[in-house]
A and B are shown apart, each in its own frame.
Chain A
Amino acid sequence: MNGKRGEPNTGGHRRDPLWLAAWLHRISGLALAAFLPLHFLVFALVLSSKAALDGFLRWTANPAVKVAEAGLVFLLTLHLLGGIRILLLENLPWFAGHKQLVAGALLTASMLALVFLVRAA
């Protein structure tokens, strides 16, 4: 991935699908970590009143929010499947097909997000 011995690293590894997978895993993880406090605060609204939570949930019926929620389903599924691949990679003997697993994770995450969006429409 990093050029031949003695040659400068030209950054070719950054075009490798598994490098992209590692980058996506970090980005999706950061996005989910940023979202979690808001997610928790929403459910804590019950502490003030059930009506406060209902008011927020009514707001989430907004189509733009549904698109954002589908994005979260995509990120969560991608991070979950990417994480399972890392656990398999680290705990099982090496096997070929990690690039196919990454492609499968991207496809599954996209499909689930799409299904979520269609059901919400």
Chain B
Amino acid sequence: MNVRLYVLQRASAAVMAPLLLIHLGVIFYASRRGLSASDILARTRGSLFWGAFYATLVVAAATHAAIGVRVVASEWTRWHGGMLEALMWACGLLLAALGLTAVAAVVLV
């Protein structure tokens, strides 16, 4: 892992840490009496705050996970060079695309 990826990995972790503490709180609060689409959408639909919150979390998580998967693959497999780069980008882009689609679905639609 080069310095750029190391800094990105730690910076994304630092961004995510407080957001995940809030996310854990929301999980416990929202699941207190069972989840329903109406409950979720009542909180998120049209909300600039939750839209920005979850979009930031998705981008940070996609960055963090992609670099993390690259690190683990470099340690546990014989993959190297371009294969690791391809794995990292595929993982990051997939998570970012799916995550931002999910955020748009619960905030904008």
Q: Please report the C-alpha to C-alpha distance between residue A41 and residue B34 in the assembled complex, in whole angstroms.
A: 19
Q: Are B36 and A57 in contact (CB under 8 A)?
A: yes
Q: Are A47 and B109 in contact (CB under 8 A)?
A: yes
Interface residues on B, range: 35 or more
Chain B residues near A71 (CB-CB < 8 A): none
A119 at the interface (CB under 8 A from B): yes
Closest A residue to B28 by beta carbon equals: A116
Closest B residue to A90 by beta carbon equals: B10
In the complex, 5 of the A-B residue pairs with CB atoms within 8 angstroms, ordered by the A residue number, are: A33-B65, A40-B58, A47-B109, A54-B37, A83-B16
Q: Are A119 and B28 in contact (CB under 8 A)?
A: yes
Label chain A's interface by main secondary structure.
helix
A-B CB pair tally, cutoff 8 Å: 96
Q: Are A57 and B69 in contact (CB under 8 A)?
A: no
Give B36-67 as 1s and 0s: 1 = Cβ < 8 Å from A's Cβ atoms: 11101100000000000000001001000100
Given A36-B65, A37-B95, A119-B32, A50 contacting B17 (CB threshold 8 A): no
A120 at the interface (CB under 8 A from B): yes
Q: Are B27 and A36 in contact (CB under 8 A)?
A: no
A67 at the interface (CB under 8 A from B): no
